[in-house]
Amino acid sequence: MKHTPLIACHECDLLQRETALRRNGIARCTRCGAELYRNRPDSLNRTFACTLAAMVLFAVANAFPIVGLSVNGDLVQTTLFGAVRILYRDGMWPLAGLVFFTTILMPMLQMAGIAYLLLPLPLGRVPPQPAVVFRLVHWAMSWGMTEVLILGVLVALVKLAHIAGVVPGIALWAFGALMLLLAAMSAAFDPREFPERVRPSQRGAGVPADTHTSASASTAARAGLFACHECGLLSKARAHAHEGGCPRCGAPLHFRKPESIARTWAFLMAAMVLYIPANTLPMMHTSSIFGAQRDTIMSGVVYLWTSGSWPLAVVLFIASVAVPMLKIVALIFLVATAQRRSRWLPELRTRIYRVVEFVGRWSMLDIYVVTVRVALVQFNTLATIQAGPAAIAFGAVVVLTMFAAVSFDPRFIWDANKAGHG
């Protein structure tokens, strides 16, 4: 009798048997409801096609101006890289680095990495060092924020339309199409199929036969198995070992993320300290013939509301004020209850963690609004805008809360429960 392989949930660590899925079907954990894997038809070919189209659009989007601002016949245009350069010129190099990292470098690495991995496959070849590039692509997908950039540009244009004529550039439409292609590429890419295609003999490597035939519900940690979060492979840990390497993709393996609680607390404490200057110090300095003005995050929300753009005001308030604060509160709740080994509603706490992980990137919205406005409002004696110190503090809060979410291991939520704790 042929036994189906096991898979471990990356959120609660429960061992389950893989099942065949219908076309576009989704397998979810029977305990916490997390997505385990999907049936993505023709995954690699669809991913490769989306990647090639995305690379063309990425080149167009960065070669032409995103948008222009016209005042009395004077037109100021900027590319995305030009906006980064202006921030760097004004001494805001941490902000410039963050924008470059999330909107140019990470999407570029994601597309180049996937193209590198998939291009040789139709020829029956395997690219050198596929495991390293595979992990790099997985990491880049988490930090590329093209969709947040597009929304930030739209919010900035609504604000700027009241003071000058807005001239949409070719790159704006290219970035919009790029956003859709990157989403399609991420949805089509199956992180389980590529490693299986490259090293099929590793499927179920190191998992003993008695583990496959066991009918008892247990966790991977209790069974002495490492679960790879990159490719999903289960592998047997050496005796008394608490860490190892995935035999298929080379990712580091642990029963639980090392120092997860302490590292999460450290990132949260730093974020809480910086949250205060991020909301009290000026986000932008505006100089014009009518005088100087300093804008905070809340003053930007108020401006959009009073000017009639209340939907964007609500979006900006949620993304830039409510979400960072709620993320900090939610993560404090999660790490405190996990540290106390609380058994209270683990399903609910796991859902909270998923929400925190999903919304983290959208807090970057205000950073991109500032970037676009700083790059466009450069009319010398008429008006100029510079980023304020709150922009750096706010960017640090966003990054620190994302690090905190990544550092927290949601499997700790379930470890206190008698039903299969690790």
Identify the pLDDT of residue 421. Answer: 40
b/e code 129-159 from CB counts within 10 Å (16+ = b): ebbebbbbbbebbebbbbbbbbbbbbbbbbb
pLDDT at residue 355 greater than cutoff 80: yes
Q: Provide the pLDDT for residue 139.
A: 87
Give the pLDDT mean for 274-296: 75
pLDDT for position 251? 79
Give mean pLDDT, residues 202-206. Answer: 49
Q: For the segment 386-401, what is each residue's pLDDT rounded down to a tens digit? A: 788 888 999 999 999 9
Whole-number mean pLDDT of the chain?
A: 82
Q: pLDDT-derived band of residue 215, with 50, 70 and 90 as boundaries?
A: very low
* Stronger pLDDT, 233 or 330, i.e. the higher one: 330
The burial class, CB within 10 Å (0-12 / 13-18 / 19+), for 21 is middle
Q: What is the rounded average pLDDT of the residues 405-413? A: 89
pLDDT given for residue 383 in this prediction: 63
Amino acid at 384: T
User: From residue 78, how far is each of 158, 358, 376, 378, 416 by CA, in Å?
Assistant: 17, 30, 7, 10, 54
pLDDT digits (tens, 9 = 90+) for 223-243: 888 888 777 778 887 766 677
The residue-averaged pLDDT of 98-111 equals 93
Cβ atoms of 79 and 63 within 8 Å: the answer is yes
Q: Which tens digit of pLDDT belongs to each residue from 123-169?
A: 878 888 888 888 888 888 889 898 899 988 888 888 777 777 778 88
- Residue with the bigger pLDDT between 239 and 109: it is 109
Question: Which residue in 15, 71, 2, 66 sits closest to 234, CA to CA?
Answer: 15
Q: Please indicate whether residue 414 or residue 232 has the higher confidence score (pLDDT).
A: 414
Q: Is the pLDDT of residue 190 over 90?
A: no
Comparing 354 with 221, the larger pLDDT belongs to 354
Q: What fold does the segment set 259-422 form as a domain?
A: Butyryl-CoA Dehydrogenase, subunit A; domain 3 (1.20.140)
Q: Which three-class secondary structure state does DSSP give residue 45?
A: helix
* pLDDT band, residue 270 (cuts 50/70/90): very high
Please check the confidence at residue 55 and state whether its pLDDT lies above 70: yes
Say what the pLDDT of residue 4 is: 62
- The answer, yes or no, to whether residue 203 has pLDDT greater than 70, is no
What would the mean pLDDT of 38-66 be, rounded to a whole number? Answer: 90
**What's the average model confidence in pLDDT over 88-102?**
90
The pLDDT of residue 167: 82
Q: What is the mean pLDDT of residues 272-285?
A: 86
| pLDDT > 70? residue 323 | yes
pLDDT tens track for 290-309: 555 677 777 777 877 777 77
- Residue 200 is predicted with a pLDDT of 55
The C-alpha atoms of residue 278 and residue 237 are separated, in whole angstroms, by 45
Mean pLDDT of 249-276: 88
Q: How many CB atoms lie within 10 A of CB 381?
A: 8
What would the mean pLDDT of 164-193 be, rounded to a whole number? Answer: 87
Tally Cβ neighbours within 10 Å of residue 37: 18
**pLDDT for 255:** 82
H or E element in which residue 77 lies: strand 74-78
Q: Sorting pLDDT into bands at 50, 70 and 90, what band is 334?
A: very high
User: Exposed, middle or buried: residue 180 (CB in 10 Å: 0-12, 13-18, 19+)?
Assistant: middle
Hey, is 384 helix, strand or coil?
Answer: strand
| Element at 412 (helix H, strand E) | helix 411-415
What is the rounded (10 degree) CA torsion for 248, 252, 256, 262?
A: -160
pLDDT of 132: 85
pLDDT, residue 1, reads: 39
Between 370 and 263, residue with greater pLDDT: 263
**Per-residue pLDDT at 21 exceeds 50:** yes
Alpha-carbon gap, residue 410 to 116, rounded angstroms:
33
Whole-structure pTM value = 0.84
Per-residue burial over 300-328, b if 16 or more Cβ lie within 10 Å, else e, is bbebbbeeebeebbebbbbbbbebbeebb
Output the pLDDT for position 403. 92
Query: Across residues 189-193, what is the average pLDDT?
Result: 81
Maximum distance among all Cα pairs of the chain, rounded to whole angstroms: 83
Both tokens assigned to 79: 């590319």
